[in-house]
A and B are shown apart, each in its own frame.
Chain A
Amino acid sequence: MPEWNEQEFVSRARKGDMEACDALVRQYQERIYATVYHMTSNHEDAADLAQETFIKAFRKIDKFKGDSSFFTWLYRIAVNNTINFIRSKRRRVILSINQMDEEWDRGEELLGLVSKDTPRQNVDRHELQGMLNAAMQKLSSNHRLVVTLHDVQGVPHEQIGEIMDCNTNTVRTRLHYARKQLQAHLSDYLKP
């Protein structure tokens, strides 16, 4: 497999080379999709937003100056797009949280009943994952983003700073508060 050369593909994509566009999409689609999905907790919205991210990027590729990597620039587009979407769909998100809250109560009862050794362990985990998604939705978009990028996807602080256009200390502070809030929301499920 030939070595990945981002700059070459970017310059070819600038000239309208669809093969280069295809290569760039395949290279980054999973990470962009995952970021958007963990921000929205909805696969359909994530699919739409991830597509829009790539389309916007290719339509504005002439504005990419190369100050950062193409991937960081792409991330920025994805993040801004997603934050705008979350703001515009706030009512719907709240509705989905209410639905999740009902499940949360049921999950709490289940957690009290189900032992780790029972075959229902996986069901427990699934429920717990739902609770985690609901807790994530309760965070502000900036806190949710920093948790998604760092704790879920393993992006280093420095790169998150570039994506979010802030310094590393701000990233660390946001991460700290986001984790505290998540712990508060999930305190019943995370007892040692």
Chain B
Amino acid sequence: MMEPDPKEFDKLQKLLASKEKEKPEEGFFDRFSDQVLTRLEEPAPKPTLWERLNDQVDPLRAAAAIFAAVIGVGVLFALDEGSNMAETEPEPLGQADEETSAEPLGQRQNTLAGSGLPLNKSEAKPPRILMNPGTGLAPLPAKVDSSFYQDKSASNTVHTPK
């Protein structure tokens, strides 16, 4: 922004100072005090909720309280989200479906007798290759040297050339 012209500013100041001469109609200030005191003696209107809050609550403290509340709600929300994430994580082996009922060791159902270890009764099936070994594999013909099976009488005969 350009610096103001000092001559223009002189005029502006004079113009502004001339505003001081703008006055209300004559006699206005003679009646003014009476009007104020008459209104003052009237019962005060019931303050609105906003006015009461303004009177009783320090705006700085109110802002601080609102800020703290927002942070608190944010922390609670973050904790809730965190716990949800923890619940969906895979559980360590052998700790799933732990029951609290007191049963004699080894006599619990679904456990290996005597060990207390849970039987794996999950619905997941073992890989197919373990159920039917060899399935899915094409049979390969054995590579055999045919001359091996030719009639070669096994004897102690010594062949002599004719």
Question: A-side interface residues toward B, CB under 8 Å?
Answer: 18, 21-22, 25-26, 29-30, 33-34, 37-38, 43, 46-47, 50-51, 54-55, 58-59, 125, 128-129, 132, 147, 151-153, 179-180, 182-183, 186-187, 190-192
Contact = CB atoms under 8 A, between A and B. Distances in A.
Given A38-B19, A190-B12, A51 B37 contact: no
B145 interface: no
Interface residues on B, range: 20 to 34
A51 B36 contact: yes
B151 interface: no
B121 interface: no
Interface residues of A: mostly helix, strand, loop or mixed? helix
B39 interface: yes
The 9 closest A-B pairs by CB, nearest first: A192-B7, A151-B16, A25-B33, A190-B11, A54-B36, A190-B8, A152-B19, A29-B32, A22-B33
A34 to B, nearest CB: 7
Interface of B: 1, 4-5, 7-9, 11-13, 15-20, 22, 24, 28-29, 32-33, 35-37, 39-40, 44
A139 to B, nearest CB: 12
A32 B15 CA distance: 21
A51 B37 CA distance: 9
B29 A183 contact: no
Nearest to B3: A180
A29 to B, nearest CB: 5
Interface residues of B: mostly helix, strand, loop or mixed? helix
A63 to B, nearest CB: 8
Contacts of B11: 190, 192
B95 to A, nearest CB: 63
Given A21-B40, A43-B24, A152-B17, A180 B7 contact: no
19 contacts: A21-B36, A21-B37, A25-B32, A26-B29, A30-B29, A33-B24, A38-B19, A51-B39, A59-B40, A129-B19, A147-B16, A152-B19, A153-B20, A180-B1, A182-B12, A183-B4, A190-B8, A192-B5, A192-B8
Contacts, number: 85
Given A54-B36, A129-B22, A59 B8 contact: no
Given A147-B16, A151-B16, A179 B33 contact: no
Given A18-B40, A29-B29, A59-B44, 15 more contacts: A21-B37, A21-B40, A25-B33, A25-B37, A26-B33, A37-B24, A47-B32, A51-B36, A54-B40, A55-B40, A59-B40, A125-B18, A183-B4, A186-B12, A186-B15
Contacts of A29: 29, 32-33
Contacts of B36: 21, 25, 51, 54-55
B14 to A, nearest CB: 10
A153 B7 CA distance: 21
A33 B32 contact: yes
A55 B33 CA distance: 11
A190 B7 CA distance: 9
A59 B22 CA distance: 30
